[in-house]
Amino acid sequence: MLSAYAARFSPDDPLSALEVGEQPEPEVPAGWELVTVKAAALNHHDLWSLKGVGLKAEQLPMILGGDAAGVTADGREVVCHGVVAGADGMGNDTDPNVRFSLFSEHHPGTHAERLAVPSVNLIDKPAELSFVEAACLPVAYLTAYRMLFVQGGFRPGETVLVQGAGGGVSTAAILLGRAAGLRIWVTSRSQEKADRAVELGAHEAFESGARLPARVDGVLETVGRATWEHSLKSVRNQGTVVVAGMTSGDPSPAGLPHLFFRQIRVIGSTMGTRAELRDLLSFMAASGVRPLVDDTYPLAEARTAYERMAEGELFGKLVLVGE
């Protein structure tokens, strides 16, 4: 079957490790189902995989991708939750002692014509959402949903700062937060991306690192080193910073005086549970909010999509589509 996969590792030139070609059909263990992939979104995790982060040489070739929506053998239209809980995929995904992995880490990923998925990870696709829209949700949008409403616990009327407009998680946070009645502020180094964020629904946009008109109730932090100090200075006393990434590297120093003197809560967050994905899908269907898609590409043109993601000049998700 046609697939986009890591054939090797290249920390300095990840795209040189990408191949698009034939790979064996997926094995379908007991309790799993075969899904014909109709759409599969790209994430920066895929570039990290090509660099060799989280994978070992003996796992190669590894099919990439963590997001997918498709159709099961019996015709059911589904969204595939991308977190595999336990060695057999049947683990309790709310148990902190259960080992978790993502598709394309210990199991083949979603950038292929077909995909094996644990049955418990198959969630009915709402009729209101297209396959392309649904495929954007399990990684970036679920991450933003959990950051805002589960880990952050932000309430309508509160002000939340989203660091780094333009990325998948930050775009999702703008759309979801605005729909839920939050006041959303964003930062960006790009005036174009700042303007686009306001068009999407952000109430105000600021240059990265700029002093804000007032301290915010919470901050969504996925950038890391480049924005960490600003995040701590921007949140109110006893406010909350939710961290789900560090694309610019690990912050140093940590800003401990801010944390203990001003009693700031810092909470880690990664992806979300199956139940939270169901809630997100219901939220999208009921609210009319739809994920922002930058562009779509046939699976055979996956390299072009990966090149665009590596360039970084995106606003919204890139999605591979099957037949």
pLDDT tens, 231-268? 999 999 999 999 987 776 777 777 788 878 888 899 99
Separation between Cα atoms, residue 53 and residue 70, nearest integer Å: 28
Q: Which two tokens stand for residue 187?
A: 């930062």
The Cα–Cα gap between 207 and 246 comes to 19
* pLDDT given for residue 277 in this prediction: 98
| pTM greater than 0.85 (yes/no) | yes
User: Which tokens is 184 given?
Assistant: 């959303």
Q: According to the model, what pLDDT value does residue 1 have? A: 97
Stretches in the chain below the pLDDT threshold 70: 248
Structure-block tokens of residue 117:
């998925």
**Residues whose CB is less than 8 angstroms from the CB of residue 16 and which lie 6 or more positions away in sequence, other chains included:** 8, 10
Contacts of 104 (CB under 8 A, 6+ apart): 45, 46, 49, 62, 63, 64, 65, 66, 110, 111
N-term to C-term CA, the chain: 13
Bridge-based pairing state of the strands 183-188 and 204-207: parallel
- The radius of gyration of the chain from alpha carbons, rounded to an integer in Å, stands at 19
Distance of CA 164 to CAs 125, 232, 305, Å? 30, 15, 21
Cα–Cα distance measured from residue 186 to residue 170, given in angstroms and rounded to the nearest whole number? 8
Reference 241, options 254, 299, 272; nearest CA is 254
User: What pLDDT is recorded for position 257?
Assistant: 82
Tell me what pLDDT residue 313 has. 75
Cα–Cα distance measured from residue 182 to residue 185, given in angstroms and rounded to the nearest whole number: 10
Burial 73-83 (b: 16+ CB within 10 A, else e): eeeebbbbbbb
Contact 185, 158 (CB under 8 A): no
pLDDT at 188: 92
* pLDDT at res. 62: 98
pLDDT at 212: 96
Q: What is the pLDDT of residue 27?
A: 94
Predicted pLDDT of residue 314: 76
Q: Which of 207, 140, 151, 208 shows the shortest CA–CA distance to 174? A: 140
Q: Say what the pLDDT of residue 141 is.
A: 96
